[in-house]
Structure formats: C-alpha cells, structure tokens
C-alpha cells in the first residue's frame, strides 16, 4: 500500500492505535511475532465476497486499501457502502464513504485514491 508509508517498528497512529509496517493496525490484528505479509491474508479473505469478485482492478484496490486499514471486519461494518457497490452505484458508494468518520481520519492522499 504505497500511500500508507512503511515503519518497521511499532508506532502509535493518529487515532491512538499501535501500528506497524504499512499501517497494519495491531488493535485489529494480532501480530504475535508473525511476519507481516502486507495484503495477502486480506486478499484471500475478501475474495470470498461476490461483490468484490465482480469489481474491476481499480475498485478492487480501493476495497483492499480500506480493508487493509480497517480490517475486514471493520470494512464490513460499512453496510451502506457495500450495498451501493453491490448495486454498482459507485457515486453513492463514494458518498457513503465520504460521510464516514474514517474518511476524516486519513490523509488527503489516501482520500484521492477512493475514486470509484
């Protein structure tokens, strides 16, 4: 996730969560000495959702970026966002995302990649 920036050691992000690697939120995931595999684990989990499989590469990358930072369970809480994606109403999906508290917590550069 190039837009995240890499830190080889644990740091506290601006929301107070312990974080490592490319924004790997240790409050969401357990680290326990495992090697950080960036997005591989998330990708295998998220591929089980039909709405993800039906997206083009750019939209998949947006979802993967969100799930990487929020955790898959965190992303799945954005029910209206996901419903809009399932309906292929991408303008509404962006609107739902922009109205989330998460949107205001991230850097402007990251917001720029969320263009459906």
Q: Does 10 fall in a domain? A: no
Q: Does 23 fall in a domain? A: no
Q: What total of structural domains would you count in the chain?
A: 1
Q: Does 32 fall in a domain? A: no
* Element of type H or E holding 21: strand 18-21
If we measure between CA atoms, which residue out of 106, 110, 43, 49 comes closest to residue 83? 49
76 alpha-carbon distance from chain centroid = 10
Q: What is the pLDDT along the chain (116 residues), one digit of tens a residue?
A: 444 566 767 788 888 888 777 677 777 765 555 554 545 556 667 777 888 888 988 888 888 888 877 888 888 899 999 999 999 999 999 899 888 888 777 766 555 556 65
Q: Does 44 fall in a domain? A: yes
Q: Does 64 fall in a domain? A: yes
| Residue 92 structural domain | 37-113
Say how far apart CA 59 and CA 76 lie, in whole Å: 16
Q: Does 107 fall in a domain? A: yes
């Amino acid at each position: 996730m190039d837009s995240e920036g890499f830190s080889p050691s644990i740091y506290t992000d601006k929301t107070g969560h312990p974080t490592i690697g490319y924004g790997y939120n240790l409050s969401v995931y357990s680290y326990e000495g495992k090697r950080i595999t960036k997005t591989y684990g998330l990708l295998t989990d998220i591929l089980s959702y039909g709405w993800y499989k039906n997206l083009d590469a750019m939209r998949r990358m947006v979802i993967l970026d969100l799930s990487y930072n929020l955790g898959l369970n965190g992303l799945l809480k954005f029910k209206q966002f996901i419903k809009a994606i399932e309906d292929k109403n991408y303008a509404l999906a962006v609107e739902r995302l922009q109205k989330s508290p998460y949107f205001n917590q991230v850097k402007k550069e990251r917001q720029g990649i969320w263009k459906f």
